[in-house]
Structure 1
Amino acid sequence: MLYRVEGIVIRSMDYGEGNKIITLCTESGGKAGVLVRGAKKSKSRHAALTQPFTYGEFVYFRNTGLGTLNAGEIIQSHHVLREDITKAAYASYACELLDRVLQDEETGTFWFKQLKACLEALESGKDPLIVMSIYEFKILQAAGYAPQLDACISSGQQCADEDMFVSPRLGGVLCRSYKHFDPAALSVTPRTLKLLRLFARMDLNRLGNIDVKDSTKLEIKHVMRQFMDMQLEVKLKSRNFLDQLDKYDM
């Protein structure tokens, strides 16, 4: 069967002497693995289509399993992301996270739009930590693990932000009176809690410039890291690389 889809290359690997296999996040049909014959050859007309983060139209034939590329056209190459080591690291993390969470048979429209918006925001120079925190929220929400941040997850009561603790293990916030349900719950500033609620509601496609203090950004990063670890339990090579970049920046 012949497929014509819009998709983003979230993974690209060598196959044999001259071929590549790409994994696409498509707008209409979830993930798709596609063999691109001759993509490693210098004169290949399809080589550019196999680059990570490439957004394009792909035409491929597939009966079952792996498809074979017939034709394709680049819509947005995202070469800027590949040319900047920090942007490339964040973009790789966004792609790997989606690849690990999204199952092959799942419909990909929501995921595709979030990834597309994430890559565009990174390319345009938006703060990568803010972009990624919002993106991680969307991943958690779509995977069914959206944190409960407006009321205590144990009592259902709304308390002052100063009396709230964040419990990544329980998946939400705890009032001071119920902190004993998770002694490891995180103490965060009211500003961080307000921003986390904002990120949960924000649309990446409408992201403007948000001015956040470095100390608050670090707190948000720590909270989101804990949520991702506790709720999704995925280990990503790209995140290890991001951690190494952070150490270098310090």
Structure 2
Amino acid sequence: MLYRVEGIVIRSMDYGEGNKIITICTENAGKIGVLVRGAKKVKSRHAALTQLFTTAEYVFFRNGTGLGTLNSGEISSSHHVLRQDLILAAYASYACELLDRVLQDEETGSFWYHQLKACLDALEEGKDPGIIINLYEMKILQSAGYGPELLSCISCGKDLSEDDSSAVSPRLGGVLCRSCRHLDPPALKISPKSLKLLRLFARLDLRRLGHVDVKEETKAELKTVMRAFMDMQLGLNLKSQSFLDQMEKYGL
């Protein structure tokens, strides 16, 4: 059967001497794998369609639920700016790998296609990559069922203002009031500004993200908290995350 889908390439791998297999996050058909014959050849007319972050309309044949075979495609956005910049490419790769590893085929659909597209567009537009990724991570946690409790104490249920919370516990999955702080000694201290932003991330659609001006110390705190949540709740070992860590280590 012939399929026509709008999608974003989130993974691309060599297959045989001249072919590639791409994984596409589609708008209406979930995650799908497509074989692109001859994509590695110099004069291949399909090579550009296999590049990471490419958004395009893909037309492919598929019998049943197996791997499809590309027939044709038309690119709507190549996102070449992301691939040409080492730092942006690292963040974009992390966003794609995170979606690919966390969400099952049937869990990806229109919402996640548009969230990923908004993430890549925001990176390409020059918005703060750290804020973009933290917001994206929050959406991933929520979709996976691990969204943190940020409005009330995760232990006693007391409603908390941004000034009432003394700590956030990645292990327990949310904020702790001062009375319950002792329940998780390794819990992370959090400033009112950072908690306010985390609450904003929890309810904000990536497509609505404007230019956000956040102080460096607040961004550092957000990064620490979100990384702790990701490690504790999902426990993934991602190549793209390791590369981002190496870039930070060497000050890139």
Whether these two folds match at TM > 0.5 is yes
What is the CA distance between 1:92 and its match in structure 2? Answer: 0.2
What is the CA distance between 1:118 and its match in structure 2? Answer: 0.1
What is the CA distance between 1:107 and its match in structure 2? Answer: 4.1
User: 1:81-230 maps to which residues of 2 (within 5 A)?
Assistant: 81-164=82-165, 165-230=167-232
Amino acid of the structure 2 residue aligned with 1:14? D
Tell me which residue corresponds to 1:62. Answer: 62
What is the CA distance between 1:203 and its match in structure 2? Answer: 1.7
CA contact under 8 A between 2:26 and 2:113: conserved in structure 1? yes
Distance 1:137 1:151 in 2: 17
Aligned in 2, Cα 1:161/1:107: closer, same or farther, shift over 3 Å?
closer
What is the CA distance between 1:120 and its match in structure 2? Answer: 0.2
Tell me which residue corresponds to 2:19. Answer: 19
Distance 1:107 1:95 in 2: 12
Tell me which residue corresponds to 1:76. Answer: 77
- Secondary structure of the equivalent of 1:177? coil
Unaligned stretches of 5+ residues in structure 1: none
1:158-192 deviation digits (Å, cap 9, x = unpaired): 23434421011111101111122211111011111
Amino acid of the structure 1 residue aligned with 2:158? Q
CA contact under 8 A between 1:29 and 1:106: conserved in structure 2? no
Amino acid of the structure 2 residue aligned with 1:35? L
Unaligned stretches of 5+ residues in structure 2: none
- Secondary structure of the equivalent of 1:29? coil
CA contact under 8 A between 2:57 and 2:76: conserved in structure 1? yes
CA contact under 8 A between 2:151 and 2:161: conserved in structure 1? no
Distance 2:250 2:116 in 1: 27
Distance 2:32 2:182 in 1: 46
Tell me which residue corresponds to 1:6. Answer: 6
Normalised TM-score (structure 1): 0.97
Q: Identity of aligned pairs, percent?
A: 72
Moved over 3 A (4+): 159-163
Amino acid of the structure 2 residue aligned with 1:197? R
What is the CA distance between 1:128 and its match in structure 2? Answer: 0.1
CA contact under 8 A between 1:12 and 1:20: conserved in structure 2? yes
Distance 2:136 2:99 in 1: 10
Distance 2:108 2:239 in 1: 25
Tell me which residue corresponds to 1:43. Answer: 43
Tell me which residue corresponds to 2:30. Answer: 30
Distance 2:249 2:232 in 1: 23
Which range is displaced more, 37-46 or 63-72?
Answer: 63-72
RMSD: 1.1
Which range is displaced more, 206-215 or 90-99?
Answer: 206-215
Matched, 1:247 2:244: no
Distance 2:202 2:74 in 1: 34
- Secondary structure of the equivalent of 2:152? strand
